[in-house]
Amino acid sequence: MRVLSGSDISALVDIAALLAPIGDAMRLVSAGRAELPLRSVVELGGGNRFGIMPGSLADPPSYGAKLLSLFPDNPRHGRSSHAGLYLLFDPANGLPSACLDAAVLTALRTAAASAVATAALARTDAAVLALIGCGEQAVSHLAAMRSVRKLGRVLVWGRDPARAAAFAATHGVETAPSIAAALAQADIVCTVTNPTTPLVTPEMLRPGLHLNAVGASMPLNQEIATECLPLLHLFTDYKPSLEAQAAEVIDARRRGIIAADHAITEIGAVLSGTAAGRRDAAEITLYRSLGIAAQDLAAAHFILGRAEQAGRGTVVTMQ
């Protein structure tokens, strides 16, 4: 089994390198060629959780699971909020073939998935990015958006103005005084927070926007106000995940704001050409990312291939 640390992974791939394997995985998902049980979560108290995300892909044949601790307070102490391991197995014999740092893997694959969706859905002339949130996913999403669009301006908003200012200084971007001010100037928006109260409201939306809603992966958290949904063309990574875990969709259906058959399109279907993406320059598109096992699996498989070629990582014997 090859053990790959976070520094190993960062040395082997960047977000741009993962666009193709993540795109291929999303096509397989929408073609029904993946097994993706919904993530199971153990509540640990104090807002901390332990998640398990297993899955398999048909091409290349592969399977594995991510074991992830979600500790929201960790960044205050200089640690990732997502800590754990990804275990990849050899489908020929069932033996574990790789163990990867899950924090770096998650950051890279999440941002790469947003980049794949943005490439497919954002206007081709989109040049202004707004980052709502200034944590670790904001860093990876800044690189991701730059990999698929030529950005002229980037604005960042954070709950803590000092942290937002530090982020802006580090990355050479601008701060925005409010979420509304950021969205008023943006063509692409990435929300990378985990609030319990929605941040983006209908009056903030404007024609031509593309939004990547990334931070709220459990029904207790919500970045996009429920009332926004009728104004958006809604896309996601995997419909069963969206319907079970996206708070705004659950709430909108419960309240009758959208019908049970409201159009929801998987991004893999857009990539495969079996479903339409953006229909015109004025449409507002939302890619609602839940983060699915297929993305982790495709990224881990790709990274392992590069590690084997480069002789990177530590090989341990399992017997």
What's the rounded mean pLDDT across residues 298-303? Answer: 97
Task: Identify whether residues 270 and 135 lie together within a single domain.
Answer: yes
- pLDDT value at residue 25: 97
200-256 pLDDT, tens digit per residue, is: 999 999 999 999 999 988 888 899 999 999 999 999 999 999 999 999 999 999 999
> What separation in angstroms does the CA of 113 have from each of 109, 118, 213, 262, 294?
6, 9, 11, 23, 11
CA-based nearest residue to 82, from 112, 113, 105: 105
Rounded CA separation 31/266 (Å):
10
Q: At what angle do helices 15-30 and 293-310 cross, to 10 degrees?
A: 130
Beta carbons within 8 Å of 235's beta carbon, 6+ residues apart: 117, 121, 264, 265, 266, 267, 270, 277, 285, 286, 287, 288
What is the torsional sign of CA 131, 302, 291, 271? positive
Query: Do 267 and 136 belong to one domain?
Result: yes
* Cα–Cα distance for residue pair 237/117, rounded to 1 Å: 9
Q: Residue 143: CB partners within 8 Å, gap ≥ 6?
A: 14, 15, 111
Question: What pLDDT is stored for residue 111 in this prediction?
Answer: 97
How many domains does the chain divide into?
A: 2
Q: Which one-letter DSSP state was computed for residue 16?
A: H
What integer best gives the mean pLDDT of the chain?
A: 95
Say if residue 221 is in the same domain as residue 166. yes
Question: Residue 38 is encoded by which pair of tokens?
Answer: 């919904």
Residues 120 and 235 in one domain: yes
Q: Is residue 319 predicted with pLDDT exceeding 80?
A: no
* CATH at 6: 3.30.1780.10
Instruction: Confirm if 201 and 193 have CB atoms less than 8 A apart.
Output: no
Vertex 214, ends 188 and 293: CA angle to 5°?
A: 130
Q: How far is Cα 284 from Cα 282, in angstroms, rounded to an integer? A: 7
> For the ranges 10-19, 45-54, 291-300, which has the lowest average pLDDT?
45-54
Strand positions, DSSP E, the chain: 2-4, 34-35, 40-45, 48-57, 62-70, 82-89, 96-101, 128-132, 153-157, 174-175, 188-191, 210-213, 233-236, 264-266, 285-288, 314-315
The model's pLDDT over 46-94, given as tens digits with 9 standing for 90+, comes to 889 899 999 999 998 999 999 999 888 887 787 877 889 999 999 999 9
Region of 170 please: left (phi>0), alpha (psi -120 to 50) or beta: alpha
Contact 183, 201 (CB under 8 A): no
Both 202 and 236 in one domain: the answer is yes
Provide the CATH number for the domain around residue 276: 3.40.50.720
Residues 265 and 180 in one domain: yes
Q: Do 169 and 283 lie in a common domain?
A: yes
pLDDT higher than threshold 90 for residue 116: yes
| CB contact set of 275 (below 8 Å; sequence gap of 6+) | 265, 266, 269
Q: What is the pLDDT of residues 157-184, one digit of tens each?
A: 999 999 999 999 999 999 999 999 999 9
User: Both 67 and 184 in a single domain?
Assistant: no
Is there a single domain that holds both residue 143 and residue 268?
Answer: yes
Distance, in Å, from the CA atom of 52 to the CA atom of 192, rounded to the nearest integer, reads 21
For residue 241 the two structure tokens come to 């995940």
Give the chain's end-to-end CA distance (angstroms, integer).
10
In the three-class reduction of DSSP (H, G, I as helix; E, B as strand; rest coil), residue 32 is classed as: coil
**Per-residue model confidence (pLDDT) at position 78:** 79
Assess whether 256 and 300 both reside in one domain: no
* pLDDT given for residue 227 in this prediction: 97
Give the model's pLDDT for residue 92. Answer: 94
Q: Do 91 and 22 reside in the same domain of the chain?
A: yes
How does residue 186 score in pLDDT terms, banded at 50, 70 and 90? very high
Q: Are residues 14 and 120 in the same domain?
A: no
Q: Tell me what pLDDT residue 80 has.
A: 78
Under 8 Å CB-to-CB from 195, ≥6 apart: which residues? 215, 216, 221, 222, 223
> Residue 9: which domain range?
2-106+294-315
